Structure 1
Amino acid sequence: MPRGKTTKPKKATTIEEPKRRTGRTRGRGKAMASSESKVAVGSKRKYKTAASTDAAPPEEAVVPVPKRQKAGTSRATEETDRAVFVNVKAPKPEPEKRGETGAKISHHSHRQEPGEVMTFGQGDIGQLGLGEDIDERKKPSPVRGDLEGEEVVQLVCGGMHTVALTRDGKVYTWGCNDEGALGRPTIEGEEYSPGLMVGLEDVVIVQVSAGDCHTASLTNTGVVYCCGVFRDSNGPFGLAQPGPPSPSPIVVYDSPTSRAIKVVSGSDHVVVLTNEGDLFSFGCAEQGQLGRVPECFSARGGRKGVKYLLDPQMVRFRKSRGVKTKFSDVFCGSYTTYAYTQSRHLFAWGLNNYGQLGVNDVVIRYVPEQLPSDCLDTSEDTDGSREELEIAGGQHHSLLCHRGSVFVMGRREYGRLGMGEEEKTEPLLPTRLPTLTDIVSVAAGSVCSFAVSRSGQVYSWGMGTSLQLGNGKEDDIWKPTPITGKNIINRKVIASSSGGQHTALLVSLPNES
């Protein structure tokens, strides 16, 4: 069994949980605050889930940045493990016909079933998309505005913003736009309702992902765009280049020989899967989530500089019996990454202070580590089909959905694992939840969890302080519980996603329920 190179056991990086609110006030600023949050001066952002050191500077560190590349120029590298283009200003690809149905790349994660967007939880920064006058919802509520009449096929929640992808390849965003995560200019109040991301009019988007302060979009030609910024324990440090946030989408990955077919985001990192089965990662590396940066370079690249983190570079794996490891899927938690090989082995790396990687210890992994081979049933079904696999992760816990079953690992507080209040252990290996069957997808907020069944029932459990469990109460839920509401009666839930304080559901269209 190939195993990744591990580091000497050390004390894991500490990431504080959101503190419970003792009272509630309406309007902006009632978001939960982490004791280690980093808030930009003059920013509206009240909640930021980010890893930090024990002693935080009183203000954001001013990052010396190297001389910036001239706008409009591309940067080719001689190394084979780098993306071909990493630009400040993106050159536009050849114009695509809007709504073109024949995608030039494909992956089973590209969703096709259309639905309606519904949100609930806290929305005082606009992340619910229900308008400036509505800053919380206890039950699923439909998002209208510019989304009315659109057929949404994918829905993702960032830390405090939400992204919706339509069937014809358009991207709508709403929520906090302090650092450009929406990919469109907004004036006061416009971030509370869905709006079309600018700069993508000539391309067709087939997949989106979102982190705390960034949004990534994948085109049907295998090009990845990003907007916003990556942050670490010292504050923002850049996107494609060191420096300020990018308020509109720019190209961050474009290779004619190794095209992207899937893009996923953690809180502050992005991983790209290519058609050749390789993985490219970029962003924050402080918790080992890039899988290619040694600990000595994890803080802003060390002597190699920030560009070492921001340039998409290949995640290297040891050869197995002389054969190079190739991948078929990839997933991200807040500070973790999981990759599934074409030979059906599961690898993980990143923050592991509560055993959320599922590798049977609590040591951070800066390079890929293979999970025990017996944690998954990797045999083929009788019809020869590939098994279903989906992984999601919060701050300190992870969910694994495999062939209808849900497995959990990591921290148990507030019920996020769904194992019951009487269960005191914190599993270091994937542990099955017997109460859930026939599950097809899972999602994780910072301190809560969700699962969707094949029949379209959605379940939630974990911390309820922000109303993001959808049960109408602020109590914690220790076991998976169905979400109900008048707006989803006799409707099938297609998918779920959760951010720092809010949750979004993609619900079947009324005439298709």
Structure 2
Amino acid sequence: MPRRKVLTNNNNSEEDKVMQPTKAKRARIAFHLELPKRRQIIGNVLVCGTGDTGQLGLGEDVLERKRPALVESIPNPVDVCAGGMHCLVLTKNGDVYSFGCNDEGALGRDTSAEGSESTPALIDLPGKALCISAGDSHSACLLEDGRVYAWGSFRDSHGNMGLTIDGNKRTPINLLEGTICCSIASGADHLVILTTAGKVYTVGCAEQGQLGRISERSVGGEGRRGKRDLLRPDQLIIKRTKPFEAIWATNYCTFLRESQTETIWAVGLNNYKQLTHAKEAERVLIPIKTDLKDVKQIAGGQHHTLVLDNSSRCFAIGRPDYGRLGVGDVKDVVAELMPIPQLSGRTAFVGCGEACSYAITNDGKLYSWGMGSNQQLGVGDGDDELEPVVVSSKNTANKRMLLAAGGGQHSVFLAESDVQEEQKENVPASKKAKTAASAAQAAPAAEAPMEQENPTEVVSSVNDNEPATSVASEPAKKTAAKRGRKKN
């Protein structure tokens, strides 16, 4: 902390004292955010729902799972996210795997080989990743050096927009050359990027106002500059604000948290009050100040938003249809944040699909609610759930759940892996043999080998396989299903 001299009224100097910098000095101090740390708790990737475009990652013949099924071919996964019809998985050493629909390049890799979309495979990146995000047809990751790479495509009401003005990108490209970034968040068709300097950049579809920087006449890309301003990442500027320190994106909304004041700003679709603001407008083009405080996480789907605060309380707002809010049989739009009684004071993580929701409690239990017609709730019956229900199966039994995310018709979860097995897998074979030989040599000849006691489980801080259904391959069905999904 800087030191400065203080003068008394009689002009006699006092001893130097440690003091806060002056207002002018504070203005000159550079704001800086650190890069995030990659998640470290190794888990098991579980999937459920409909897999007709390979989004379950269980092979091209597996078209449905009613309960969470294990995806076995990814080493040491630590993070998962669901796009509209695809999934990304981040491993402990920073590799990214993808599986699902690749019509517009969302997998970021070659899938010309038969069946390669429906099994996880590695994406070739120019560095190791720290975190991942996915939208309807695009994917992104933040690398260890602060670069943001993305691939796939954005879409609007007219169809494919491309990822850049040059069109779709089927392999990863650097979106912000020369800029060090520290956070990314994907909506359905837009991407939000936070830099270490506290600046926010947006790119993608602007029709619902989600970019927060496009005028009314240009949101559709029909202006003089066409889609150039939409598909080039540019800074979202709010006058007279501090640098930003956190970002979140739902399908068609963007949320920003200001540093120092912790004010949360929101922009985008508001037809069901998804922005947590009473403003009477179906969409908001310029960020508005919300009353949200003490926020830990924000998640949302097409027409609803979940807010998790630092006291482990979970709130919902928006459209109640199919039970996506988790507050019971409500018919009218919930226009103000409503607490979800079953989760009050014990929620560690929230996630959303388009019309469904997920929560993980402090004791590691996974809950789901909302639309269940595609089995994406993982509870096995296909019914809608109006309130949170526990997701249980042989793959979640005695496991602490870590993460949950929903796509268009599928879900992906991360459950803690068996620690003892992970320790065994990470020991080289030569070391195992040497250890076994040493133990055998040290043991008395007359004694039997000592049985190992129950291993101690390492617990995360957070944060059933069924017979496969098989049908003939229908390539055309992928495109039809994808194009048929509506935004409003």
Shorter chain as denominator, the TM-score bin is: 0.7 to 0.9
Cα RMSD after superposing both structures: 1.5
Aligned to 1:43: none
- Residue identity matched to 1:365: V
Once residues 390 and 121 of structure 1 are traced to their aligned partners in structure 2, the CA distance between those partners, rounded to angstroms, is: 25
- Do structure 1's residue 428 and structure 2's residue 335 form an aligned pair? yes
Is 1:107–2:41 an aligned residue pair? no
Partner Cα distance (1:168, 1:206) in 2? 9
* Alpha-carbon separation, structure 2, partners of 1:265 and 1:302: 25
- Alignment length, in residue pairs? 384
Match of 1:487 among 395, 401, 424: 395
Alpha-carbon distance in structure 2 between the residues aligned to 1:181 and 1:284: 16
Q: Shift of the alpha carbon at 1:188?
A: 2.6
- 2:201 pairs, out of 261, 277, 280, with 280
2:279 counterpart residue number: 361
1:190 maps to amino acid = S
Q: Report the equivalent of 2:230.
A: 309
The structure whose Rg is larger is 2
Contact in 1 for aligned 2:347/2:362 (Cα 8 Å): yes
- Are 1:197 and 2:123 matched, yes or no? yes
Query: Does 2:172 correspond to 1:249?
Result: yes
1:165-180 to 2 correspondence within 5 Å?
165-180=90-105
Distance in 1 between residues matched to 2:395 and 2:415, nearest whole Å: 9
Kindly indicate whether the alpha-carbon contact (under 8 Å) linking 2:36 and 2:130 is maintained by their aligned counterparts in 1.
Answer: no
**Residue aligning to 1:42:** none
CA contact (8 A) 1:115 1:507 kept: yes
Change (3 A) 1:425 1:271: same
What is the CA-CA distance between 1:337 and the residue it aligns to?
A: 0.7
2:191 is the counterpart of 1:262: no
Residue 318 of structure 1, CA deviation: 1.9
Give how far 1:114 is off.
1.8
Structural mapping, 1:18-417, within 5 Å = 106-107=35-36, 110-145=38-73, 147=74, 150-186=75-111, 187-198=113-124, 200=125, 202-243=126-167, 245-256=168-179, 259-300=180-221, 302-319=223-240, 324-342=241-259, 343-363=261-281, 364-372=283-291, 375-376=292-293, 378=294, 389-403=296-310, 404-417=312-325
Unmatched tracts of structure 1, length 5 or more: 1-103, 379-387
- Whole-angstrom CA distance in 2 between matches of 1:229 and 1:291: 20
Q: Determine if contact 1:301/1:307 at 8 Å carries over to the other structure.
A: no
Residues 20-77 of structure 1, C-alpha deviations (whole Å, 9 max, x = no match): xxxxxxxxxxxxxxxxxxxxxxxxxxxxxxxxxxxxxxxxxxxxxxxxxxxxxxxxxx
Q: Give the secondary structure class of the aligned counterpart of 1:303.
A: coil
SS at match of 1:309: coil
Amino acid in the other structure paired with 1:327: F
- Partners of 1:247 and 1:215 in 2: CA distance: 10
SS in 2 for 1:481: strand
Q: CA deviation at 1:433?
A: 1.4
Q: Distance in 2 between matches of 1:359 and 1:471?
A: 33
In structure 1, how many angstroms separate the alpha carbons of the residues matched to 2:331 and 2:226?
A: 43
Aligned to 2:357: 449
Amino acid at match of 2:227: V
Check the 8 A contact 1:334/1:393 in 2, yes or no. yes
Deviation at residue 241 of structure 1 after TM alignment: 2.5
Partner of 2:19: none
Q: Is the 8 A contact 1:361 1:428 kept in 2?
A: no
> What SS does the corresponding residue of 1:250 show, helix, strand or coil?
strand
- Give the drift of 1:357: 0.8
| C-alpha distance in structure 1 between counterparts of 2:231 and 2:104, whole Å | 17
How far is 1:434 from its partner?
2.0
Overall identity of the aligned pairs, in %: 40
Query: What amino acid is the match of 1:416?
Result: R
Task: Provide the residue aligned with 1:458 in structure 2.
Answer: 366
Deviation of 1:254 (Å): 2.7
SS in structure 2 of the partner of residue 296 of structure 1: helix
Amino acid in structure 2 at the alignment position of 1:113:
I
Distance apart, 1:153 and its partner CA: 1.3
Per-residue CA deviation, residues 259-293 of structure 1 (Å, 9 max, x unaligned), is 11001101110000111111000000010000111
Q: Is the 8 A contact 2:327 2:341 kept in 1?
A: no
Unaligned stretches of 5+ residues in structure 2:
1-32, 420-457, 460-488
Query: Is the Cα–Cα contact under 8 Å of residues 494 and 506 in structure 1 kept in the other structure?
Result: yes
**Aligned match for 2:377, one of 469, 479, 483:** 469
Note closer, same or farther for the CA distance 1:362–1:393 as it changes in structure 2 (3 Å cut). Answer: farther
Judging by fraction of residues, say which structure has more helix. Answer: 2
Residues 368, 388 of structure 2: 8 Å contact kept: yes
Find the residue that maps to 1:414 and give its secondary structure: helix
Secondary structure class of the residue paired with 2:239: coil
* Runs of 4+ more than 6 Å apart: none
Shift in CA distance, 362/395, structure 1 to aligned 2, threshold 3 Å = farther
